[in-house]
Amino acid sequence: MRISGIRAGLPLGPAGLTAVALAAGPAMASSTVAVPCSTSALGDEGGAIYNESTALVKYSTFSYNQSSSSSEYGGALANASFLAVAGSSLKGNSAPYGGAVYNEATLSLSGDSLSGNTAQYGAGLYTEDLATISTTTFQQNTASSAGGGIYNGTSDGVNLTASQVTYNHAPAGEGGGIYNEGDVVLGSTTVRFNAANNCSPALSVTGCTG
């Protein structure tokens, strides 16, 4: 599946279809997203997908999507329930909060690549709830304020395993790699070559220096 150049709430394709909206209900107990359109308007969250059910996205590409206003969330994906993304690429997406992904529930990223995304806060990922991340790369994402790679705003935690957070930027702010307001755990994960620093505030992420 490839979803590219979509802005939340704006038409995609014929008949005024918009980006995917996954709503709670018996038919959506477990979903694999396969089609980049729905008859539901999304409003201001999730340039490509807004999830409020249980969803699995696999082997997909999300590029150059945007949230629909200057104050909203998730350039490509916004999650309000349980979302698992595996083997996917998220590139060049933008939103004020969470250039690629915004999470306010439970998120799993596995084998994904998040690159070249932009935001004010959390260009790769902005999370306010539990995020479990493995074998995933955050590279060359740029946040104008904080969290070039990841912005963690929760004590529920971000757990990174066998992942890389490299060459991300927060040129006018803090946390070029990771900005942490809660609990971030690194396991066999590289956080290096980010600017202006790798992790902020200083000493907020065990095992991250500079």
Q: What is the pLDDT of residue 30?
A: 34
Candidates 93, 92, 84; CA nearest to 112 is 84
Which tens digit of pLDDT belongs to each residue from 43-91?
Answer: 478 999 999 999 999 999 999 999 866 668 999 999 999 999 999 999 9
Mean pLDDT of 14-41: 35
Q: pLDDT band at residue 9, thresholds of 50, 70 and 90?
A: very low
Q: What is the pLDDT of residue 41?
A: 29
Q: pLDDT band at residue 151, thresholds of 50, 70 and 90?
A: very high
Count of C-beta atoms within a 10 Å radius of residue 136: 24
> Is 0.75 topped by the overall pTM?
yes
| Mean pLDDT of all residues belonging to the chain | 83
Name the one residue in this structure whose structure tokens are 């590139």. 91
3-state secondary structure of 68: coil
Name the one residue in this structure whose structure tokens are 């000493």. 203
Candidates 111, 110, 114, 112; CA nearest to 126 is 114
Count of C-beta atoms within a 10 Å radius of residue 192: 13
